[in-house]
A and B are shown apart, each in its own frame.
Chain A
Amino acid sequence: MNGDDEVGVASDGGNAATEGATTATASPGLLDRLLPTGFRTLFHREVLRFVRRPRNTFLPPAITNVLYFSVFGVILGGRIDSFVLDGREIEYIAFILPGLIVLGAISNAFENSSFSIFHGRWNEYIHEVLTSPLPYTSMVLAYILSSALRGLVVGIIIGLIGLLFTSVPVARPLYLVAFMLVICLLFASFGVVGGLWARDFDYLTVLNQFILRPLVFFGGVFYSLDALEGIAYTVSLFNPMVYMVNGVRYGFFGAAELPPNESLAVLSVLTLAVVALDVELFRRGYGLVD
């Protein structure tokens, strides 16, 4: 194997690589060394795929969250007492905003990578990527980063919609950014596994509806962990969503029910582990090659 360096145009392929391409290969700039052309192309392709279809990618979470904020925040939320977080009183509609951002962001990050890979397998056009000289790491990172970007954009959209209904501070912006990045990357990475594992479109539905959403809903999006007692509280601590929602909530309010640094560290390690798993699955051709 040739490491993860991309193969230059003029090295093997191409009978007569053009001057421009040859020059680019002969003296690659910093951008080409950090983000080689092949990786950038696949990343760009993946981003274009969801950017050009906003009615399929951005409009549904926007509408869904307008409904969430209207029903749970305004109509029901008005009847629910404010939450007290680290001594600070937070109205219910503001309390649920971080969780809704997490819900939208991870759902879209997961859906993007899982759908893109599975659809490519289903119609076999992923072969265009697999038969190219892209290193497996570049393939995986392009899928993950583009999907995480979609998750972040959806998270921002939900945040902006939330601002139409309530106002929230951003007490710890670096934590907010760090948690959002890590959870989007983590679920984009999980999406790669899902896209490789799925044998039918039903598999993706099962993953999203029967695993992802229950974990999120029981991850403290709509309630405080303080509301749980005994075994319910203990079980909740095994739900990774709890730490994600808690971390993003910490980014907004500067207060959290669980220690944010430990949460961030565990989620970061988990993300790296899943990314490594993705690369290994691609290298082995799991779900991709005979």
Chain B
Amino acid sequence: MTLAIRARNLVKEYDDVRALDGLDISVEAGEFFGLLGPNGAGKTTFINILVGLAHRTDGEAAVFGHDVEAEYQQARDAIGLAPQEYNVDRFFPIQEVLEHKAGYHGIPSGEATRRAEEALKTVGIYEKRDTRFDWLSGGMKRRFMLARALVSDPDLLILDEPTAGVDVQLRRDLWDVINRMNDAGTTILLTTHYIEEAERLCDRVAIMDEGCKVEEASPDELMDRGTDRITVSMGSTPATAPELNLSDVHDARIEDSDLVVTAARGSSVVPDLLRQLEAMGYTVTEVDIERASLEEVFVDMTRTGSAVEA
């Protein structure tokens, strides 16, 4: 399988700060890959190295097999970037900005105009095509950032917090666009602090902290490592939680006349749990499993005493 992104032992130092500390990440072509991490984890630094806005100190980074510095033209031609910060040319109406961006990618004038119009229609701001960026609303600005990333029809779409600060409806609209791109074969690298976004969209997720990759797995696999909450209603509620002999159970207690059990891989624990309770003479009337969220797993993995994004 072709790798859309390959980073090996990637290091980036700013004076005495080590922003990336031997980062290893591989993203397969066509994959929807999420990058999570607290502020300062190195996510944006990693993206900047890929697109040419930062020089690596050491290590390797390649996009579709092209080294991001030695073969920067090929690497950058494959990338569409929607950065977190607004960095848009304020001198021109937004359609012209898109035409320029397409032109930089070698797309001839007439075709650039067609693609710019198509990109604006895709994100739903075509009627604002003659407006300058500064005059767009906050939501429209976010839509435009996505349009600019799409206009060169990239093989790799890098989205750095693409839905930061937008309302729920717009977020879902943007998800639809991004999902369609991914369905059409575009590789997506997404950083987000909306864990729900990563759960819903990503095939795989890497969690970064202090310049390193802490974990990498599918959202489901990561959630399996979290602690599920199993609520058991019984015919007669004991005064204290029964002694359970199950290896994955972390805790059991009585809450509001229900037995609440916290355990890893809750769904696989439940059959044994029910058998033990019945063996103890309890009658179970209802069982509810509340899965751990990716957010909880993320917070656990990156807990350093400092504030985290999620």
Q: CA–CA, A288 to B270, complex, Å?
A: 57
Write the nearest CB–CB distance from A55 to chain B, whole angstroms: 14
Q: How far is the CB of B5 from chain A (nearest CB, A)?
A: 14
- Tell me the nearest residue of chain B to A23, going by C-beta: B108
Q: A14-B153, A290-B48 are in contact. Are A2 and B54 (CB under 8 A)?
A: no
Asked if B73 and A15 make an inter-chain contact with CB atoms under 8 angstroms apart, the answer reads: no
**What are the residues of chain A within 8 A of B112 when measuring CB–CB?**
41
Q: Do the beta carbons of B87 and A12 come within 8 Å of each other?
A: no
Q: Which of B52, B77, B106 has the most CB of A within 10 A?
A: B106
Once A24-B108, A125-B87 are accepted as A-B contacts, the answer to whether A15 and B186 lie under 8 Å apart by CB is: yes
- Contact indicator A134/B90 (Cβ below 8 Å): no
A131 close to B79 (CB less than 8 A)? yes
Q: Is B53 in contact with A21, judged by CB distance below 8 angstroms?
A: no
B52, B54, B106, B153: the one within 8 Å of A8 (CB): B106
The verdict on A27 contacting chain B, using a C-beta distance below 8 Å, is no
**Chain A residues with CB below 8 A from B114, complex form:** 18
Question: A224: CB under 8 A from chain B?
Answer: no
The complex places the Cα of A20 from the Cα of B153 at a distance, in Å, of 14
Residues of chain B within 8 A of A15, CB atoms compared:
153-155, 184-186
Give the residue name and chain of the A residue nearest to B45 (CB): A290
C-alpha gap A94/B186 in the complex (Å): 65
Contact between A48 and B92, CB atoms less than 8 A apart: yes
**Do A125 and B90 have beta carbons less than 8 Å apart?**
yes
**What sequence of 0s and 1s flags, for each residue 77-120 of chain B, a beta carbon within 8 Å of any chain A beta carbon?**
11101010101111110000101110111111111101100000
Judged by a CB distance under 8 angstroms, whether A88 is at the interface is no
Q: Determine the residue in chain B with the shortest Cβ distance to A4.
A: B73
A281 an interface residue at 8 Å Cβ cutoff? no
B64 at the interface (CB under 8 A from A): yes
A261 is an interface residue with CB less than 8 A from chain B: no
User: Which residues of A are found within 8 Å of B107, using beta-carbon distances?
Assistant: 9, 21, 37
Does A237 interact with chain B (Cβ within 8 Å)? no
Q: 1/0 per position for A74-97, CB-CB distance to B under 8 A?
A: 000000000000000000000000
Complex Cα gap A290–B13 (Å): 10
Interface footprint category on A? 35 or more
For window 184-234 of B, CB contacts with A under 8 Å fall at: 184-186
What is the distance, in angstroms, from A1's C-beta to the closest C-beta of chain B?
6
B110 touches A14 (CB 8 A): no
Beta-carbon contact of A6 and B106 below 8 Å: yes
Beta-carbon contact of B155 and A40 below 8 Å: no
Which chain A residue has the least Cβ–Cβ distance from B104?
A132
Q: Which of B77, B87, B88, B109 is within 8 Å of A7, CB to CB?
A: B77
Bound form: Cα–Cα A49–B107 in Å: 21
A38 at the interface (CB under 8 A from B): yes
Chain B residues in 8 Å Cβ range of A171: none
Cross-chain contact B106 with A25 (CB below 8 angstroms): yes
B100 touches A128 (CB 8 A): yes
**Do A18 and B111 touch across chains, with their CB atoms under 8 A apart?**
yes
* Chain B residues, CB < 8 A from A12: 64, 66, 74-75, 77-78, 155
Provide the residues of chain B in CB contact with A20, threshold 8 Å. 108, 110-111
Contact (Cβ within 8 A) A132 B70: no
Task: Report B-chain residues with C-beta under 8 Å of the C-beta of A17.
Answer: 153
Minimum CB–CB distance for A101 against chain B, Å: 28
Which residues of the partner chain B approach A49 to less than 8 Å between Cβ atoms?
91
Q: How far is the CB of B218 from chain A (nearest CB, A)?
A: 24
Of the candidates B53, B89, B186, the one whose C-beta lies within 8 Å of that of A130 is B53
Q: Quote the shortest CB–CB distance from B164 to chain A (angstroms).
A: 16
Residue of B78, B99, B103 most packed against chain A (CB within 10 A): B103
A22-58 contact mask (Cβ, 8 Å, vs B): 1 or 0: 0011000000000011101110110011001000000
Q: B106 is contacted by which of A9, A16, A124 (Cβ under 8 Å)?
A: A9
Contacts A45-B100, A131-B79, A289-B54; A38 near B106 (Cβ below 8 A): yes
Whether B104 contacts A134 by the Cβ 8 Å rule is yes
Closest partner residue, chain B, to A9 (CB atom): B106
| Chain A positions 168 through 179: 1 when the CB is less than 8 Å from some CB of chain B, otherwise 0 | 000000000000
Q: List the A side residues contacting B104 at CB < 8 Å.
A: 38, 41-42, 128-129, 132-134
CA distance A36 to B87 in the complex (A): 25
B153 touches A290 (CB 8 A): no
In the complex, are the beta carbons of B55 and A290 less than 8 A apart? Answer: yes
Please give, as numbers and ranges, the residues of chain B lying within 8 Å of A2 by CB-CB distance: 71-74
Given contacts A9-B106, A128-B89, A133-B106, 4 further A-B pairs with CB under 8 A are A2-B73, A38-B104, A48-B92, A52-B91
28 contacts between A and B (CB under 8 A): A1-B71, A7-B77, A7-B106, A9-B106, A12-B64, A13-B79, A15-B153, A17-B153, A20-B111, A21-B108, A38-B105, A42-B100, A45-B89, A124-B85, A125-B89, A128-B100, A128-B104, A128-B148, A130-B52, A131-B52, A131-B76, A133-B73, A133-B74, A285-B55, A289-B48, A289-B54, A290-B54, A290-B55
Q: Which residues of A contact B (CB under 8 A)?
A: 1-2, 5-9, 11-18, 20-21, 24-25, 36-38, 40-42, 44-45, 48-49, 52, 120, 123-125, 127-135, 285, 289-290
